[in-house]
């Protein structure tokens, strides 16, 4: 089962994303999209001040992960978790917290998040494979925190490979807001192809 944390905009693009996954991966799958009410609160691993606008981060990811495991755990299926932006960061963080996920589909993840690089260095990931991607213009921003994302994702790619995780890093054309559904579809499709023909029900 593919699990994606999503907001209303993501859900509006979901039909196209599913079609794209089917075109790219010759495998059976089921996608469970879980809508998140408060993006910054529910998907952030710990509290952090605002880095753009006025809204900070509430650090509610632990509670969200518990709900994800409750819902998806009942399926008895092999699980792959993914998402876009902060949902991609959440998916990556979740793979450090539990061994429930065999793969991670982190499309343009918010690896600029304060303290996350240090968290990765200090902890052991439990997923077998990780897909990372970033737009080639995402690190070209005036925001001093968010422009670190390029360096952070390159470091993450090196650390994960060094830890024996099957990991790839794909660079996409455009900024953070370019083709989120397509980028997420490629992330999930990569995981499906690595799993082979048995798919992920």
- pLDDT tens digits, 89-115: 999 999 999 999 999 999 999 999 999
Residue 81 dihedral angles phi and psi, to the nearest 5°: -110, 145
Counting every residue written for the chain, the total comes to 201
Q: What's the pTM value of the predicted model, to 2 decimals?
A: 0.94
Instruction: Please check whether residue 165 is in contact with residue 130, taking contact to mean a CB–CB distance below 8 angstroms.
Output: yes
Question: DSSP 3-state assignment of 107?
Answer: strand
Q: Going from the N-terminus, what domains does the chain have, and what CATH number goes with each?
A: 2-195 (3.40.50.1820)
pLDDT digits (tens, 9 = 90+) for 31-70: 999 999 999 999 999 999 998 888 999 999 999 999 999 9
């Amino acid at each position: 089962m593919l699990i994606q944390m999503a907001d209303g905009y993501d859900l509006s693009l979901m039909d196209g994303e599913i079609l794209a996954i089917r075109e790219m991966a010759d495998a059976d799958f089921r996608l469970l999209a879980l809508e998140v009410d408060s993006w910054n609160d529910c998907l952030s691993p710990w509290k952090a001040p605002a880095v753009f606008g006025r809204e900070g981060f509430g650090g509610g990811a632990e509670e969200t992960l518990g709900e994800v495991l409750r819902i998806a755990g009942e399926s008895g299926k092999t699980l792959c978790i993914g998402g876009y932006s902060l949902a991609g960061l959440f998916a990556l963080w979740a793979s450090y917290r539990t061994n429930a996920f065999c793969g991670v589909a982190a499309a343009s993840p918010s690896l600029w998040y304060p303290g996350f690089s240090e968290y990765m260095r200090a902890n052991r990931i439990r997923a077998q494979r990780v897909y990372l991607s970033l737009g080639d213009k995402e690190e070209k921003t005036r925001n001093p925190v968010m422009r670190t994302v390029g360096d952070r994702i390159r470091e993450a790619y090196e650390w994960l490979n060094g830890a024996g995780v099957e990991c790839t890093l794909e660079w996409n054309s455009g900024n953070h807001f370019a083709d989120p559904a397509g980028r997420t579809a490629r992330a999930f499709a990569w995981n499906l192809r690595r799993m082979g023909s048995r798919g992920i029900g």
